[in-house]
Amino acid sequence: MAQILDSRRKFWIRVEGSIVKWLFMACASVSILTTIGILVTLLYQGYGFFNEVSPWEFLTGTRWTPILKPRSYGVLPLVSGTLLVTVIAAMVALPVGLMTAIFLSEYAADNVRRIIKPILEILAGIPTVVYGYFALTFVTPLLQNIFNDLLVFNALSAGIVMGVMIIPMVSSLSEDAMISVPRNLREAAYALGATRYEVSLRVVVPAALSGIIAAFIIAISRAIGETMLVTIAAGATPRMALNPLEGVQTMTAYIVQLSLGEAPVGSLEYNTIFAVGLVLFCMTLLMNLLGFWIVRRFREAY
Amino acid sequence: MNEYKPVAGSVSPNRKRRKIIGTSVYFVFLISTLVGIVSLGVLIFDVLDKGIPWLNWQFLTDYPSRKPEEAGLYSALIGTIWLMFMTALLTVPIGVGAAIYLEEYAPRNFFTKVIEINVSNLAGVPSIVYGLLGMSLFVYYLGSSEQFLGRTLLAGALTLALLVLPIVIMASREAIRAVPDSYRQGAYAMGADKWQVIKGVVLPSALPGILTGTILAMSRAIGEAAPVIAISALVYMTFIPAHPMERFTVLPIQIYNWVARPQEEFRGLAAAGIIVLLAILLTMNAIAVVLRNKYQTRSEE
């Protein structure tokens, strides 16, 4: 009798076990469904847009006036605005982030690192709307002392602050790559009489180069997708200008601008944000894939 | 023509010069490291300087107003708390379940690899794209102009849940991976089957790590403004949501609303709002750090 009860219990334990296994698998599939959801959303609504505007006109047009007449749907001003801010951010974040990483991985004592790393983590955790506030109310007035014709909304201060924002991302990913460079490479160089900076710049950085480049790419992709900072500080004037002292509109800022007004669902105006979102998604996806690919492909196995 | 170039040619033999270069390079690295830290200091000082005069009890308990001296962020504060708990409720079971599957069950095959790559890619998708997903899927149902969930708390929480899901999955996986294999083997040796091992041994030991990861993911969620704007739009909230099917606003949106106005007073309100938001984030991070430390010392015993 006891044996029957026991085997019955075992049976139900097994049933429970296989049910939860399927449940967990379903949980893991949610991430796949999310990706599919994003693609379906962007493609479905984008299809509504490209039914009325030719993809060629969209991708090569140099005027973006979807709300004002005469309407024109060339996405290039939004793309160039995004790239302008991103390039400025990269010019700040890549050198500073890389040198921070070198300092943390090659120079700093353990206790110094233990203080600096959490501070950089805090920097990375600050909401982007706060950076937007900082760019608009602190950095722009500061820069206006230097550049007299700097407008209130401009690409320069948005780009600089965005650069500061992604420093922790560049530094922590690059540092990870440098820390995994084996000790004996460094020691061999020291044994040959190299100084610390020679070891850092001629041994460690080249050995960790693939990880560092991947860090750069992933950080730049983050900058392209950044939204609130540029919405607040860079302005809302889509233009093909390369002058960082003037305002630009990024792809993300346009999406926010249109989300704020209540564009009727299904209208061409409403669908524009999905077409722009599609371009944004493709750009960041390509860069992320490239970053992951570089990490995997060129990982040095010592 | 392959001339031999000695390595020493690229490294100057002049010791004194190399030492000077070394020292100056050290200072360049040091200054670069300080750029981030000093920026953080200036940012926080500036926010405190402009925001503290506006910070009082009434600011926390009043609704937004057109008059700056009467304005407060009560509805945004309550909205943020609502949204945070609903998002956690939606995302934690799914995230932990996915992590258990990937760490404990998943066979090394194509499907598993696809999920893994997919999770890391999702973590890199811009948050505004999640906003577009939520707007078209949860607020409306794709292109139909009829409201599905409408601009409600539930639509917002679903969107944010998808946004932070990759973070929760990655953090939970790390916590589960950190559980020593000897624990599992001990439980198997006593006759437990897989699910009993997970339920009775793996999950309890991984819990602090999972909790830490969840808190950090939630602190990311409550700082997000872009996807929430796509869901809730700018709404002038003079009531607080009573249930998940009501409209809502959150702190970052209220701050954005104030920053976007040209008057100096509203900038002060924005700074005060930022202080409140940063205080919440700091508290959450402190809790996470305390949990992590407690967990680390316990596992060393």
Q: Please provide the DSSP assignment of A3-61 as one string.
A: HHHHHHHHHHHHHHHHHHHHHHHHHHHHHHHHHHHHHHHHHHHHHHHHTTS-HHHHHH-
Q: Which of residues 142-181 of A touch B (CB under 8 A)?
A: 164, 167-168, 171
Domain assignment present for residue B182? The answer is yes
Confidence of residue B1 (pLDDT cuts 50, 70, 90): very low
B247 touches chain A (CB under 8 A): no
Report which of B79, B111, B102 is spatially closest to residue B246, judged by C-alpha positions. B79
**Alpha carbon of A301 to those of A163, A188, A205: distances in Å?**
32, 18, 15
pLDDT of B12 higher than 60: no
Of A44, A45, A103, the CB nearest to B29: A103
Residue of B nearest to A258 (CA): B230
Please identify which residue in the block is written with the tokens 């550049």. A147
pLDDT digits (tens, 9 = 90+) for A93-127: 999 999 999 999 999 999 999 999 989 988 999 99
As a whole number, mean pLDDT of residues A74-95 equals 95
CATH classification at residue B156: 1.10.3720.10
Mean pLDDT of A280-285: 95
Residue A263 has pLDDT above 80, yes or no: no
In contact, A234 and A253? CB cutoff 8 Å: yes
Q: Which residues of A touch B36 (CB under 8 A)?
A: 96, 100, 119-120, 123, 164, 167-168, 171
> Is B245 a domain residue?
yes
Tens digits of residue pLDDT in B149-158? 888 999 999 9
Q: Which residues contact A36 (CB under 8 A, 6 or more apart)?
A: none
CB of B162 within 8 Å of a chain A CB? The answer is yes
pLDDT digits (tens, 9 = 90+) for A174-222: 999 999 899 999 999 999 989 899 999 999 999 999 999 999 999 999 9
The number of C-alpha atoms within 13 Å of B225 and in the hemisphere containing its C-beta is 32
Domain count within chain B = 1
- Top residue of A34, A152, A171 to mutate, by most chain B CBs within 10 Å, is A34
The answer to whether A265 contacts B144, with C-beta atoms less than 8 Å apart, is: yes
* Structural domain contains residue B75: yes
**B261 in A contact zone (CB under 8 Å):** no
B29 contact A CB<8A: yes
**Lowest mean pLDDT across A136-140, A158-162, B109-113:** B109-113
pLDDT given at position A116: 92
Whether residue B41 lies inside any domain: the answer is no
ipTM of the complex: 0.93
Q: How far is residue A51 CA from its own chain's centroid? A: 30
Range of the domain at B246: 67-300
Tokens linked to A125: 């955790």
- Per-window interface: A 57-86 vs B, CB < 8 A: none
* Inter-chain touch B223–A232, beta carbons under 8 Å: no
**B194–A99 CB contact, under 8 Å:** no
- pLDDT over 90, % of chain A: 70
Q: How far apart are CA B134 and CA B118, in angstroms?
A: 19
Identify whether B30 is part of a domain: no
Q: Which residues contact A68 (CB under 8 A, 6 or more apart)?
A: none
| Buried/exposed A13-44: b ≥16 CB within 10 Å, e otherwise | eeeebeebbeebbebbbbbeebbebbeebbee
DSSP string over A71-136:
PEE--HHHHHHHHHHHHHHHHHHHHHHHHHHHIIIII--HHHHHHHHHHHHHHHHS-HHHHHHHII
Q: Which residues pair with A64 in a beta bridge?
A: A73
Chain B environment of A30 (Cβ under 8 Å): 94, 98, 162, 165
B17 and A CB contact within 8 Å: no
pLDDT at A78: 95
Nearest alpha carbon to residue B175 among B121, B95, B268 = B95
Residue of B nearest to A100 (CA): B33
Nearest to B220 by CA among B60, B88, B41: B88
Residues of B in contact with A28 (CB under 8 A): 97-98, 101-102, 106, 115
The minimal CB distance from B122 to the residues A31, A126, A128 is found for A31
Residue B183 burial (CB count, 10 A):
15
Q: Is the pLDDT of residue B167 over 90?
A: yes
Report pLDDT for B143: 67
- Tell me which chain A residue has its CA closest to the CA of residue B115: A32
| pLDDT tens, position by position, B49-108 | 999 999 998 888 888 888 888 888 999 999 999 999 999 999 999 999 999 999 999 988
From A48, which residue of chain B is nearest by alpha-carbon distance? B143
Chain A residues close to B106, C-beta within 8 Å? 28
Q: Is B286 on the interface with A (CB under 8 A)?
A: no
Task: Give the C-alpha separation, B170 to B183, whole Å.
Answer: 22
* Contact at CB, B132 and A41, closer than 8 angstroms: yes
Contacts of A285 (CB under 8 A, 6+ apart): B121, B124, B125
Residue in A49, A202, A227, A280 to test binding to B, most B beta-carbons within 10 Å? A227
φ, ψ at B228 (rounded to 5°): -70, -35
- Return d(Cα B129, Cα B133) in angstroms, integer: 6
> Count of CB atoms within 10 A of residue A257's CB?
16
Question: Cis bond leading into A70, ω under 30°?
Answer: yes
Tell me the C-alpha distance between A43 and A35, whole Å: 12
Instruction: Name residues 236-265 of chain A within 8 A of B (Cβ).
Output: 252, 255-256, 259-260, 262, 264-265
Residue A90 is which amino acid? A
* Contact: B21, A28; criterion CB under 8 Å: no
pLDDT at A67: 79
Tell me the one-letter amino acid at B161.
A
Query: Cβ distance B255 to B273 under 8 Å?
Result: yes
Dist CA A93 CA B36 (whole Å): 10
Q: What single-letter DSSP state applies at residue A148? A: T
Mean pLDDT of A267-272: 89
CB-based contact B169 A31, cutoff 8 Å: yes
| Whether A138 and B42 lie within 8 Å, measured CB to CB | yes
Q: How far is B247 from chain A (nearest CA, A)?
A: 15
> How far apart (Å, rounded) are the C-alpha atoms in residues A98 and A168?
10
Contact B129 A45 (CB under 8 A): no
Of the candidate ranges A30-39, A111-120, A275-284, B93-102, the one whose mean pLDDT is the lowest = A111-120
d(CA B236, CA B75): 9
Under DSSP, the state recorded for A227 is -
Question: Does any domain span residue B13?
Answer: no
Examine the pLDDT at A14 and tell me if it is beyond 90: no
pLDDT, position A302:
61
Cα of B167 vs its chain's centroid, Å: 8
Q: How far is the C-alpha of A174 from the C-alpha of A102, rounded, in Å?
A: 8
**Two tokens at A230?**
């540029």
User: What integer pLDDT is reported at residue A287 of this predicted model?
Assistant: 93
Residue B55 lies in a domain: no
Closest chain B residue to A219, measured at CA: B124
Smallest Cα distance from A284 to chain B, Å: 7
Instruction: Look over chain B and give the mean of its residue pLDDT values, rounded to a whole number.
Output: 88
Residue bearing tokens 């599609």: A278
CB proximity A224 to B under 8 Å: yes
Binary contact (B133, A119; C-beta < 8 A): no
What pLDDT score was predicted for residue B91? 96
Range in A7-11, A144-148, B124-128, B243-247 with the lowest mean pLDDT? A7-11
- The answer to whether residue B11 sits within a structural domain is no
**A221/B124 touch (CB, cutoff 8 Å), yes or no:** yes
Confidence of residue A8 (pLDDT cuts 50, 70, 90): confident
- pLDDT grade, residue A223 (50/70/90)? very high
B285's CB contacts (< 8 A; 6+ apart) are A122, A125, B215, B216, B219
Q: Which of A31, A167, A168 sits opposite B115 (nearest CB)?
A: A31
What's the confidence (pLDDT) of residue B232?
A: 85
Tell me what pLDDT residue B301 has: 43
Spatial distance between the Cα atoms of A131 and A232, rounded to a whole number of angstroms: 9
Percent of chain B whose predicted confidence (pLDDT) is above 90: 62
Mean pLDDT rounded to a whole number for chain A: 91
C-alpha dihedral, B240 to B242 to B243 to B248, nearest 10°: -10
C-alpha–C-alpha distance, residues B39 and A160, integer Å: 11
Q: Which residues contact A3 (CB under 8 A, 6 or more apart)?
A: none
Per the CB < 8 Å rule, is B97 touching A28? yes
Instruction: Please state the φ and ψ torsions of residue A72, each to the nearest 5 degrees.
Output: -150, 140
Instruction: Between B142 and B278, name the one with better pLDDT.
Output: B278
